[in-house]
Amino acid sequence: FEANNGGGTGEGAQQQSGAGCIHDLPILALYSKQWSSRGWGEFRAMVALGRAGLLGSCRNTEGKRNIMDNVRVVTGTYHLEFSDVCSLLPLWLSRGVEQTGNRNPLDTMDEICNTSHQFLVEQGW
């Protein structure tokens, strides 16, 4: 897959026939528990697309197409925990203003990193 940096014919402009579309690439959609339980971010639609095999070209370690594994939920989390803000704020403050779930933000960051890494390994990257 090659990107065309801004179009045109100058340096960096590359054209590749058959490059396909974003659905030809492995896609991992990670949701916080807050967003998945409230249906935000089109969570239900993303799950439906994943189950129908229409969300990316994800494959499992045996090379078979994954059906639901590319839409995942990080349990016990709020959306803001997907940034580093919660790990920078005192825990009592971020919980007090409902920006952090019941888990330690550092544990949440580890799970996000590990899930993303596992996904890339599954896809052969």
Q: Tell me: the pLDDT tens digits for 90-123?
A: 888 888 888 888 888 889 889 999 999 988 888 7
The whole-angstrom separation of Cα 109 and Cα 86 is 10
pLDDT score for 63? 58
More confident site: 17 or 20: 20
pLDDT score of 20: 61
How far is residue 80's CA from residue 99's CA, in Å, rounded to a whole number? 6
Closest of 56, 55, 105 to residue 79, by C-alpha: 105
Average pLDDT value for residue range 55-82: 72
* Residue 38: its H or E element: helix 33-38
